[in-house]
Amino acid sequence: MERFSISFTLGKASAAHGANVNHNNRKFLADNINSAETSKNISYKMQTVESAYEELFGEAVREYNEKQKRPCRRIADYYSHIANGHREEPFYEAVVQFGDCRTVQPGTQRWYAAQTMLNDYMRDFEKRNPNLFVFNAVMHLDEASPHLHIDFIPFYTKERQRGLKKGVSMRAALIEQGFVPENNGKNQLTLWEESERKEMEYILHRRGFLREDKHADYAHMSVGEYKALQDSRRMETLLRQTQTVSKNEATRMEVYRLKEELQASQQTIRQLEQEKESEYKMFFYATDDKQAYVMQQLEQMGIPFRETENGFEAQECYMKTIRSIESHYHAQPVSHREQLREDIDRCLTRATGFNDFLKRLHDEGYSIKQGKYLAAKPWHGERYIRFKSLGEHYTEASLRGLLGEKLAFEKKLAAKIEEAKTKQFPKVMVLLTARRYMDSFITYRLPVRKLWQDRPLTWVNDAELDKLSALNAALNNGETVDSFRRRFHELTEQEKAAERAIEHMIYMGERDTKKLTEARAHHDEIKAAQKDAAEKLEMIEKIMNGTYMQDMLNKFSERKRSEVVPNGYYNANTGVRRR
């Protein structure tokens, strides 16, 4: 499907080159005009601004003047009153264009398509904008590409306590049309311009075209880049001015200084351009706290990054900044109580009974005291810490109960594995993977992160076990690898069909926002289901191929190596480790 860019530019009557009715009506011809084609221009309306003011405001001005007892308060000429008052613009000019001189050539199908779409736009302009009175409108077909010049007067009709009952005001006119600003940084004018551009895009869709982003090839500039570019332009202008004045007006030192400043600005621009094109790299850390600290600092500094499963990605040009942030990170000291909680969790996960748990804790360097209250003292501590003081979930009774549940689960899992070995191959692979997964984070080959710090054996890792359990339940209900694959392909086709339906509605000019909203909601629902099916299919395929656990272990191994190689990072595009 072909694409057209859209251009909607608003000019003010008081601004230089903001509006020129005589040029629009070809009262004089500029160099860029093909006079042989001028007769083909289309004039929709041609009225002087003075007569438009009389038509719009004549009665309101006369009523206002009749109420004024002092002659100095009466308005003799409302147009001159507005034009010389500097409070409101007497009129505005919108320049509207589909495509440009590069993509719309005279005599081509695109030329006539652009002309037709401009005509569509002009036909409904005043219907959409009842508070914008058009007094002059023309389509130029004698320049490099077709475009519209629409000159209009914005007016309000809601009577005010003071002043005219009907007068000139762009702000009031747009508010009456429903463009009321919200707390999002957009004023009435911005909202209206966005609405007009959306109307142009709707016309494109109705005529079977899509919108082309005219500035897609231009990189977005940050504030620093923009300022550097403006500095360079300012220096170039000053340098040109200095080089054209006489020797008495400028010294050699001034020229030399300007040249140095210009070179510095150009160097800054080149550096910023190189940084903008630098590759994305993946940074990874052994501890989540350090990663959270670095990401928080990047957010505060306004440096863009993309969070990933095992770290985050940022452009290589920010490498020095990120390394500087890392050097300022200091891990928070762990208290005796926090350390005891961690060691209790670690020993519980490996214990085969409560006595074995106490022995493992003793092997970690703790002195154990049993009695009315179970307590432990670290080798470098001065006093015993009662387990009950760590929280209600760390009392002796609670720990015994948790340990019993853990051992019962492991026994049940082992029984299921033995049963599945004789019946179903996919099921036994899932169960074996679940056991391998538990063994991996029990032995700390995979990271262990607490979900609740005040509760033992509450791992974030439980989410992976939940996925494996859900997969096992699906297999128990008759699902197979082939059924997972079929489900994914069916949802993929449904998602494509839903997307095509939305595109068709837009193409056919569907303007019922409720129908479009429902269609998009249906599409999002299918897409979410497709994503879930894709994750399950990927999971079962990795399990069947025996690579599920190995992938997890490889990723964690890379993160652990970041402690040894502090400057380690990945090329986010190729996955190759760099230093």
The whole-number average pLDDT for the span 90-102 is: 91
User: Where residue 237 falls among pLDDT bands split at 50, 70, 90?
Assistant: low
Using a pLDDT cut of 90, give the percent of the chain over it.
16
Same domain, yes or no: 440 and 403: yes
Stated pTM of the model:
0.42
Same domain, yes or no: 110 and 252: no
* Average pLDDT across the chain, whole number: 77
pLDDT of residue 155 exceeding 90: yes
User: Where residue 568 falls among pLDDT bands split at 50, 70, 90?
Assistant: very low
User: Where residue 290 falls among pLDDT bands split at 50, 70, 90?
Assistant: confident
| Total count of domains within the chain | 5
Same domain, yes or no: 299 and 377: no
Question: Phi/psi of residue 154, each to 5°?
Answer: -80, 135
Where among 276, 305, 321 does a domain terminate? 276
Same domain, yes or no: 75 and 103: yes
**Alpha-carbon gap, residue 280 to 574, rounded angstroms:** 10
pLDDT of residue 185 exceeding 60: no
Q: Let me know if residue 264 belongs to a domain.
A: yes
Range with the poorest average pLDDT among 7-11, 147-151, 362-366: 362-366
What does the pLDDT read at residue 558? Answer: 56
pLDDT of residue 151 exceeding 90: yes
Sorted by sequence, the CB contacts under 8 Å of residue 463 that are 6+ apart come out as: none
User: Interior CA angle at 480 toward 464 and 499, to 5°?
Assistant: 80
pLDDT of residue 244 exceeding 70: no
User: Where residue 120 falls among pLDDT bands split at 50, 70, 90?
Assistant: very high
Q: Let me know if residue 564 belongs to a domain.
A: no
Q: Which residue has the higher pLDDT, 384 or 186?
A: 384
pLDDT of residue 574 exceeding 50: no
Same domain, yes or no: 233 and 103: no
Range with the poorest average pLDDT among 7-21, 158-172, 214-228, 530-544: 214-228
Q: Let me know if residue 368 belongs to a domain.
A: yes
Same domain, yes or no: 378 and 467: yes
Range with the poorest average pLDDT among 61-70, 371-380, 415-424, 554-563: 554-563
Span 396-450, pLDDT tens digits: 888 888 888 878 877 776 776 666 666 655 656 666 666 666 565 555 555 555 5
Sorted by sequence, the CB contacts under 8 Å of residue 126 that are 6+ apart come out as: 132, 133, 134
Same domain, yes or no: 35 and 182: yes
Q: Let me know if residue 442 belongs to a domain.
A: yes
Same domain, yes or no: 186 and 78: yes
Closest by CA to 357, choosing from 338, 329, 376, 334, is 376
Same domain, yes or no: 272 and 288: no
Same domain, yes or no: 36 and 143: yes
Same domain, yes or no: 55 and 166: yes
Q: Let me know if residue 240 belongs to a domain.
A: yes
What does the pLDDT read at residue 384? Answer: 87
What does the pLDDT read at residue 149? Answer: 94
User: Where residue 229 falls among pLDDT bands split at 50, 70, 90?
Assistant: low
pLDDT of residue 46 exceeding 60: yes
Q: Let me know if residue 311 belongs to a domain.
A: yes
In SS3 terms, 542-575 reads as HHHHCCHHHHHHHHHHHHHHHHHCCCCEEECCCC
Q: Let me know if residue 135 belongs to a domain.
A: yes
Neighbours of 45 (CB within 10 A): 16
Where among 431, 457, 476 does a domain terminate? 476
Q: Let me know if residue 567 belongs to a domain.
A: no
**Alpha-carbon gap, residue 261 to 259, rounded angstroms:** 5
Neighbours of 402 (CB within 10 A): 17
What does the pLDDT read at residue 563? Answer: 40
What does the pLDDT read at residue 130? Answer: 93
Range of the domain at 232: 223-276
Same domain, yes or no: 84 and 71: yes
Where among 427, 456, 476 does a domain terminate? 476
